[in-house]
């Protein structure tokens, strides 16, 4: 015999979904708080990257310094490529917004 679920079985899930929707639609996102958190995260990341790239510069050999310069140049090339992709996507999005 097939057992069919009772409609009451879905009640907790439905009420949870309704509560979550209310919370999401009623919450106000404070842009300044988000911007502040992003700035902190960016500063921490920059400090970590700087520390990684700048450690042992005084004691590195000439060949190690050449390797590090090549790595940095390669990374800058890669960043520039992705920045161009992001810029292209941004411009396409803005053109679409203006067209509407």
18-29 pLDDT, tens digit each:
776 666 655 555
For residue 33, the model assigns a pLDDT of 73
- Nearest residue to 68 (alpha-carbon basis) of 58, 79, 82: 58
CB 60 within 8 A of CB 68: yes
State pLDDT tens for residues 22-75. Answer: 666 555 556 677 778 888 888 888 888 777 777 788 888 999 889 888 988 998
Q: Report the chain's terminal Cα–Cα distance, integer Å.
A: 57
């Amino acid at each position: 015999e097939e057992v069919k679920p009772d409609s009451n079985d879905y009640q907790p899930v439905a009420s949870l979904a309704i509560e979550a929707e209310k919370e999401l639609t009623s919450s106000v996102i404070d842009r300044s708080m988000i911007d502040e958190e992003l700035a902190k995260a960016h500063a921490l990341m920059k400090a970590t990257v700087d520390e990684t790239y700048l450690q042992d510069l005084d004691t590195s050999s000439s060949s190690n310094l050449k390797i590090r310069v090549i790595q940095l140049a390669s990374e800058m090339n890669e960043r520039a490529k992705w920045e161009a992709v992001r810029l292209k996507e941004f411009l396409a999005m803005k053109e679409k917004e203006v067209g509407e």
